[in-house]
């Protein structure tokens, strides 16, 4: 596949790393030094120039490209490039990263806002602020979870949780979990990370305090299963948000009727705007790194402090200060991947990486086969993937076969199968896969993804 990527930032370069081995990739950017750095590491072509220029796109081979990925920091550049790619070069698939909500809120057909970006020739769009907000809402719903991932229209969830003494299963074998769970409740423990090393769990594996446990379950039973790994936590009631930008506002708007919300914004005019547009949130004008302001607003009574500004250093400092002053849990947005490695699980409870979330959403669009969702885990070294299987026993390597009959790639772990409202765990190896089933995988070795894609693809006969 011939792919053009506009933008050599963290999102663009990471996507290129994922695609370069099996595809003809060209990266376009105005930053010559960044392109040289990428070109020295990857087998890709690089072109210096504006990706929204027809001349530059032609130089990059747009005439015979299969996919345009416009992921620059400029919405306007991304949208104009997609329009040119559609009208001038007829590139079949055009994906744009779009931040500003204005572009999604206008359509020629007012009853069809979902397709508002069609006027720009966009076939698929990625909205980082929306994706990050959804992830934050999920994290607020489950106390102390490091990750909360949803699958099959929220019928199944995967959580990553640090095990603590007081959990019913801690210091016991995984096989004992059934003695604690109510009848009909089940889960699949997909992976355990102990001192940053992966343990592929078996029934005899003993979970110890500090283990980072990844499990999948029917969404209805997740909170019951959390009791196996941690003591019951007091429910979240009071939330303080540092930063009233797009993400801070979106989060406050979504949860202001669920929790007691305080939102701190340093820009006076933005604080006034927030006060006018939020109904039940208390808006504070000031800095989240102001110790006196935090103390005056009873930071020691806050259940969750969310640092959501656009500045990594500001988020880190305000989070450390809030934690030191008594906030029970701290949740922080960090853009630089190196910072994520250093901070998560130490002074800061949960780190959210907008770039990794965006990358996962893009990968779901471009992976072969019917891939519904891709979630990078462990800073991108592992993935959780949801696919839909199609075909018949004659045209599919999966349909009509038991889980135990399939030779899964080494490092690819079958986590769960979702059919209708029924969620079947991966340890039930007699389950037979059928057309339309949603299957959830935990992939600990990303280099086996190509083998997994081959397994889920339908043979040509299915379409004949």
Sorted by where each starts, the structural domains of the chain and their CATH numbers stand as 2-126 (3.40.50.720), 238-356 (3.40.50.720), 367-456 (3.30.70.1450)
SS3 40: helix
pTM: 0.85
Q: What is the pLDDT of residues 353-394, one digit of tens each?
A: 888 888 888 888 777 668 888 888 876 678 899 999 998 898
- Structure tokens, 359: 């990358």
Helix spans in 256-353 (H): 268-277, 291-296, 312-324, 337-343
pLDDT of residue 114: 54
pLDDT digits (tens, 9 = 90+) for 303-335: 999 999 989 999 999 999 999 999 999 999 988
- Give the strand order in the sheet containing 350-352: 281-285, 260-265, 238-242, 304-307, 329-333, 350-352
Q: Band of the pLDDT at 113, cuts 50, 70, 90?
A: very low
**CA dist., res. 314 & res. 55, Å (int):** 40
Using alpha carbons only, what angle is made at residue 166 by residues 164 and 172, rounded to the nearest 5 degrees? Answer: 80
According to DSSP, residue 399 is labeled T
**Residue range 116-126: average pLDDT?**
84
Structure tokens at 259: 């929790």
pLDDT digits (tens, 9 = 90+) for 145-203: 888 999 999 999 999 998 988 888 899 999 888 888 888 889 999 999 998 888 989 88
């Amino acid at each position: 596949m011939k792919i053009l990527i506009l933008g050599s930032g963290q999102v663009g370069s990471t996507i290129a790393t994922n695609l370069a081995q099996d595809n003809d990739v060209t990266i376009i950017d105005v930053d010559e030094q960044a392109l040289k750095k990428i070109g020295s590491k990857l087998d890709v072509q690089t072109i210096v120039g504006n990706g929204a220029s027809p001349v530059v796109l032609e130089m990059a081979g747009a005439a015979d490209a299969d996919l345009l990925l416009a992921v620059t920091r400029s919405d306007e550049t991304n949208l104009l490039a997609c329009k040119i790619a559609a009208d001038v070069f007829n590139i079949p698939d055009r994906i744009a990263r779009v931040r500003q909500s204005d572009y999604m809120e206008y359509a020629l057909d007012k009853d069809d806002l979902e397709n508002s970006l069609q006027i720009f020739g966009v076939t698929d769009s990625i909205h980082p602020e929306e994706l990050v907000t959804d992830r934050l809402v999920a994290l607020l719903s489950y106390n102390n979870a490091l990750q909360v991932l949803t699958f099959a229209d929220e019928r199944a969830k995967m959580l990553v949780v640090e095990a603590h003494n007081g959990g019913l299963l801690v210091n016991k074998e995984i096989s004992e979990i059934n003695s604690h769970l109510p009848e009909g409740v089940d889960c699949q423990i997909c992976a355990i990370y102990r001192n940053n090393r992966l343990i592929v769990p078996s029934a005899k594996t003993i979970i110890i305090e500090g283990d980072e446990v990844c499990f999948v379950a029917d969404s209805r039973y997740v909170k019951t299963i959390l009791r196996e790994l941690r003591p019951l936590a007091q429910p979240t009631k009071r939330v303080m948000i540092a930063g009233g930008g797009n993400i801070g506002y979106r989060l406050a708007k979504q949860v202001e009727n669920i929790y007691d919300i305080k939102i701190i914004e340093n820009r006076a005019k933005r604080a006034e705007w927030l006060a006018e547009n939020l109904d039940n949130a208390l808006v504070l004008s000031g800095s989240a790194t102001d110790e006196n302001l935090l103390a005056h607003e009873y930071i020691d009574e806050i259940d969750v402090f969310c640092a959501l500004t656009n500045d990594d250093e500001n988020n880190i400092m305000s989070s450390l200060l809030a934690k030191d002053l008594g906030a029970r849990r701290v949740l922080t947005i960090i853009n630089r991947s190196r910072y994520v490695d250093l901070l998560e699980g130490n002074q800061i409870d949960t780190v959210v990486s907008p770039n990794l979330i965006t990358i996962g959403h893009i990968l779901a669009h471009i992976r072969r086969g019917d891939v519904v969702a891709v979630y990078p885990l462990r800073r991108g070294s592992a993935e959780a993937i949801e696919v839909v299987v199609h075909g018949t026993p004659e045209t599919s390597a999966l349909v009509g076969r038991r889980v135990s009959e399939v030779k899964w790639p080494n490092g690819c772990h079958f986590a769960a199968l979702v059919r209708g409202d029924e969620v079947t765990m991966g340890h039930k190896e007699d389950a037979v896969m059928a057309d339309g089933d949603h299957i959830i995988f935990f992939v600990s070795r990303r280099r086996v993804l190509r083998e997994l894609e081959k397994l889920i693809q339908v043979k040509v006969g299915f379409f004949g």
